[in-house]
Amino acid sequence: MSKKQEYTGDYDDKTLYIPGPTEVREDVIDEMAQPMFGHRMDRMTDLYTTIVEDTKEFLGTDNEVVILTASGTEFWEASTLNLVDENILVPTCGSFSERHANVAERLGKDVDRLEYDWGQAIKPEDIRAELEDSDKHYDVVATVMNESSTGVRNPIEVIGDVVADYPDTYFVVDAVSALGGDYVDIDEHDIDVIFASTQKAFAMPPGLAVCVVSDDAYDRELEKGSASWYGGFQRTLDYYDRKGQTHSTPAIPVMLAYRKQMKYMLEEGHQGRDQRHREMTEYVHDWAREHFDLFAEEGYRSQTVSCIENTQDIDVAATIEQVSEEYDFVFSNGYGSQLGEKTFRIGHMGEHDLESIQELTDAIEDVAGL
């Protein structure tokens, strides 16, 4: 049982290099400290329509955008409830894709997993084979874009092209730790539903989940006749259409921060952010190869989270602790008991740049004596 540990407010500021939350610009944080206003006031319509339309522009999509007070987890549930009658195919390659499959099971769906060893990427040809050979009809193929537990970036574009050959099967992508830091052409690859949490590569405070929904997915929900209440596509999108607001009271301060950060993101552009994240990734990969190795399968490595194989057998927990104490930088151990000490993870996402990432690797070198 957890006991109360009084929050004292007396904590050192740490620079975050974990796979989210990540660093947020100071002026974006400041936006949240405003007098409150009502969620049915015109000002709210201005705010919500601005962030929705700016998000569409940033992502370059003609699909619809929903921004809800929730974390990304909400859209595992909502996309399953909105689109799946019976069968869902979930390729699993790490902790988050496994959790996605668990969520669908809990919701009573018939879940088929296509299991890959942790560190391996999902292969589009396996998905085609499953869709072709299975005697079941899959309502949804649900794929994680960026498996944050292993640092794998799955080829969702090619998988989208495969699923598009099966018109009654909808393609759902968990892009929680990728969107905003890794370019994806949503419309070109027929992605019906793709979602992210704001605390990852969008570099915003936690509290909102963003979901992009195709017209086909919206129609599918109507045809299916049952849906999530909170994350139903019809409820959220029709409310937007009629009122330019959300159906229930949103986290207004986080939306104020979102508005400000999205202006920065529009300035840099989807491809500009992709390029900056690629440069950080190349640097971290070179550094990892020099001192350790990379855990994820070659050719499928994440552009926002690097999972580094601890080939030198350093004490990961102690190194993290000491880097935090001496430098006020925080990075992550490996995921769960399976990878805890065998790997460690660096989140190079959001507003980080080459210089800030280099500061972290210098600190790790110093502390671990590399």
Ligand X SMILES: Cc1ncc(COP(=O)(O)O)c(C=O)c1O
Q: Which of 51, 64, 72, 101 binds ligand X (CB under 6 A)?
A: 72
**333 near ligand X, rule: CB under 6 A:** no
Please classify residue 89 by burial: count the beta carbons closer than 10 Å to its beta carbon, then call 0-12 exposed, 13-18 middle and 19+ buried.
Answer: buried
Nearest to 174 by CA among 250, 79, 265: 79
Half-sphere exposure in the Cβ direction for 314 (13 Å, CA): 24
Distances from the Cα of 285 to the Cα of 237, 239, 245, 282, angstroms: 41, 45, 43, 5
**177 near ligand X, rule: CB under 6 A:** yes
Least Å from the CB of residue 350 to ligand X: 13
- How many helices and strands (H and E) does the chain possess? 13, 15
**240 near ligand X, rule: CB under 6 A:** no
**102 near ligand X, rule: CB under 6 A:** no
300 residue type, one letter: Y
Q: Which of 58, 96, 116, 287 binds ligand X (CB under 6 A)?
A: 96
175 versus 367: smaller Cβ distance to ligand X: 175
**197 near ligand X, rule: CB under 6 A:** yes
Nearest to 150 by CA among 331, 296, 289: 296
Span from 30-38, 172-180, 274-282, 313-321 in contact with ligand X (CB under 6 A): 172-180
277 versus 367: smaller Cβ distance to ligand X: 277
**148 near ligand X, rule: CB under 6 A:** yes
74 versus 368: smaller Cβ distance to ligand X: 74
Nearest to 230 by CA among 88, 104, 79: 79
Least Å from the CB of residue 71 to ligand X: 3
55 versus 177: smaller Cβ distance to ligand X: 177
Count the site residues for ligand X by CB under 6 A: 12
C-alpha span between 329 and 16 (Å, rounded): 6
**236 near ligand X, rule: CB under 6 A:** no
**118 near ligand X, rule: CB under 6 A:** no
Q: Which of 59, 93, 176, 349 binds ligand X (CB under 6 A)?
A: 176
Main-chain dihedrals φ then ψ at residue 119, nearest 5 degrees: 105, -20
Where would I find the beta strands (DSSP E) of the chain? 15-16, 64-69, 87-92, 110-115, 140-144, 146-147, 152-153, 170-174, 193-197, 208-213, 293-294, 305-309, 329-330, 332-333, 343-347
**232 near ligand X, rule: CB under 6 A:** no
C-alpha span between 111 and 285 (Å, rounded): 35
Please classify residue 312 by burial: count the beta carbons closer than 10 Å to its beta carbon, then call 0-12 exposed, 13-18 middle and 19+ buried.
Answer: exposed
Span from 4-12, 66-74, 107-115, 359-367 in contact with ligand X (CB under 6 A): 66-74
CB 322 within 8 A of CB 346: no
Render the burial of 13-40: b for 16+ CB within 10 Å, e for the rest: eebbbbbbbbbbbeebeebbeeeeeebe
**174 near ligand X, rule: CB under 6 A:** yes
**71 near ligand X, rule: CB under 6 A:** yes
DSSP structure class, residue 24: -
Span from 53-61, 142-150, 291-299, 323-331 in contact with ligand X (CB under 6 A): 142-150
Q: In which residue are the tokens 């949503």 written?
A: 186
Span from 23-31, 38-46, 78-86, 171-179 in contact with ligand X (CB under 6 A): 171-179
Least Å from the CB of residue 252 to ligand X: 19
Span from 6-14, 143-151, 215-223, 290-298 in contact with ligand X (CB under 6 A): 143-151
End-to-end CA gap in the chain: 40
98 versus 314: smaller Cβ distance to ligand X: 98
**347 near ligand X, rule: CB under 6 A:** no
Least Å from the CB of residue 313 to ligand X: 27
Residues that bind ligand X (CB under 6 A): 20, 71-73, 96, 144, 146, 148, 174, 176-177, 197
